[in-house]
Structure 1
Amino acid sequence: MSLGDQVASNLPYLRRYARALTGSQASGDAFVRATLEAALADEGLKASLSDGRVPLYRAFNKIWASAYQETGSASSESQHEAAAQGRLKQVTPLNRQALLLTTLENFTAGEAAEIMEISTDDVERLVREAVEEIDRESSTSVLIIEDEPLISMQLEDLVRSLGHEISGTAATRTQALEVAETTKAGLVLADIQLADGSSGLDAVDDILALGSVPVIFITAYPERLLTGDRPEPTYLVTKPFQEATVRAAISQALFFGSSRPLD
């Protein structure tokens, strides 16, 4: 496989990480683009990318960390991002980096340490601190859109274990809208393919028409949504999922988005 093909195969997942870290598709993609531009300008950096995902993510993290230190965060483009900027000034990003790398991106603690250029012990400490931070999040109500009963129950148990309430569950687009119209949710967990052949994407569009709310998509086919051809979900979890991955996504969604119910 050529270097270009290898980088291209990892790019959708780097973009997913970048969006989760920054809370914005536009900001995340800008940092990914800056990483690729840096690699093109530096033959040594470019050659290192042939060693797989770790050096690619390490290169990205250097670019992002440098920009964060200089400006406090990526430039804001919306009210959503402006709110994120205010919170970022109060919370170190290292905890989120460590948690996202070891859960969302499935790196080992050792690999995350290499990416972040810190010790493995430091990564494990940062992850523990991140989990504690998650547990301190203000509770909210969660709407679960999932057509597999066992997965739906698993998500319900996980959400409740984090101190949140269930505003309702739905297995179809119609059911999701009915629940959203009668009960106010502060977070939505949505499958992509629903029981009656309807789309979780369409269900979420219906819900967002009622008001702004953070959304986490859960799908067995993430590559279908990571094409760059259309606006992509900021929070995307791959099935089969680990509970730690969903926990991290919920933390990020509530960190960057309002946890208040729909008005």
Structure 2
Amino acid sequence: MNSHSPTSLMAALPFARRFARAMVGSQQEGDGLVARSLRQGLAAGLPAHLALYASIASLTADTAPQALSARERQATLLTSLEGLTRQEAAQVLGLDDPAFDTLLDTARKKLRQMVCADVLIIEDEPVIALDLRLLVTRCGHRVVGAASSEAEAIRMATEYKPGLILADVNLGRGGDGITAVRQILRHVSIPVIFVTAYAERLLTAEGVEPAFIISKPFDRMTLAIATYQAITAGQIPAV
């Protein structure tokens, strides 16, 4: 049984889903992981959102050799994607502060050495697209194109064959980023990261949703770990 209030758990669920999906690489498996976490019961000594993260982390382990261990991926996702402090993330993983600092610093050093990807940016705002281009480049990746509409995104994906797509959800008059990605994935298999200022709106577990989501604004490390997870998870995000 969970000792946390239903209200606190409901508030934490969208972000727990994001964390779980990022860890396992798919909407269905991530949401199943959250359900298992709730069924097994949550630690009473932590706030609801931290207890839920802790339960999810306890159920995810290394299933195949990767450059980053499950523990290292959890540490980077919790601090970068989920925005926890180092102290909060250490509590979630059951580590003392020095041990967590060592874990996180090692993971970040590994991320900086990762092989780069060819990235297609789908973003209708020119200034934001430029910022994304600079951020992607500083992470060591190559930007092969920046599309501002559904039609342009589909054309560029066909022409440039990127290894990763970074897509805004709302393209204004240019359409919808999720619709563009749906069309692209009908023909090719490309990992996709969706970018939105309202991540919780895509994390309701109602219908088909993206597997990889990062919230605006985000920093270089958030993009680095999201990119690593999207490329190495071995599954294409459901959209």
State the TM-score, normalizing by the size of structure 1. 0.82
Q: Show the 5 A alignment for 1:94-133.
A: 94-133=71-110
Which residue of 162, 165, 168 corresponds with 2:139? Answer: 162
Who is 2:216 aligned against?
239
Shift of the alpha carbon at 1:127?
2.0
Q: Which amino acid aligns with 2:39?
A: E
Contact map agreement 2:148 2:174 (CA 8 A) in 1: no
1:258/1:160 CA distance change after superposition, 3 Å = farther
Report the secondary structure of 2:173's partner residue: coil
1:87/1:258 CA distance change after superposition, 3 Å = farther
Contact map agreement 2:193 2:214 (CA 8 A) in 1: yes
2:62 is equivalent to residue 60 of structure 1: no
Give the Cα separation in 1 of the matches to 2:65 and 2:127. Answer: 35
Give the Cα separation in 1 of the matches to 2:82 and 2:122. Answer: 23
Shift of the alpha carbon at 1:47?
4.8
1:217/1:177 CA distance change after superposition, 3 Å = same
Shift of the alpha carbon at 1:231?
2.0
| Deviation sequence 1:63-88 (CA, Å, 0-9, x none) | x15xx3xxx54xxxxxxxxxxxx345
Q: Which amino acid aligns with 1:174?
A: A
Which residue of 33, 36, 39 corresponds with 2:38? Answer: 36
Q: Which amino acid aligns with 2:180?
A: A
Contact map agreement 1:213 1:257 (CA 8 A) in 2: no
Who is 1:214 aligned against?
191
State the TM-score, normalizing by the size of structure 2. 0.89
Give the Cα separation in 1 of the matches to 2:86 and 2:199. Answer: 24
Q: Which amino acid aligns with 1:208?
A: L
2:26 is equivalent to residue 24 of structure 1: yes
Q: CA RMSD in A?
A: 2.1
Using the aligned pairs only, state the percent identity.
Answer: 37
Give the Cα separation in 1 of the matches to 2:136 and 2:143. Answer: 8
Give the Cα separation in 1 of the matches to 2:71 and 2:44. Answer: 27
Report the secondary structure of 1:196's partner residue: helix
Give the Cα separation in 1 of the matches to 2:145 and 2:31. Answer: 33
Which residue of 197, 202, 217 corresponds with 2:179? Answer: 202
2:126 is equivalent to residue 181 of structure 1: no
Contact map agreement 1:139 1:163 (CA 8 A) in 2: yes
Shift of the alpha carbon at 1:46?
6.7
Contact map agreement 2:31 2:205 (CA 8 A) in 1: no
Shift of the alpha carbon at 1:52?
3.1
Higher Cα Rg: structure 1 or 2? 1
| Deviation sequence 1:120-151 (CA, Å, 0-9, x none) | 22222222222222223222210000112222
Contact map agreement 1:167 1:183 (CA 8 A) in 2: yes
Contact map agreement 2:139 2:220 (CA 8 A) in 1: no
Report the secondary structure of 2:194's partner residue: strand
Unaligned runs of 5+ in 1: 40-44, 74-85
Unaligned runs of 5+ in 2: none
Extract structure 1 runs of 4+ deviating beyond 6 A: none
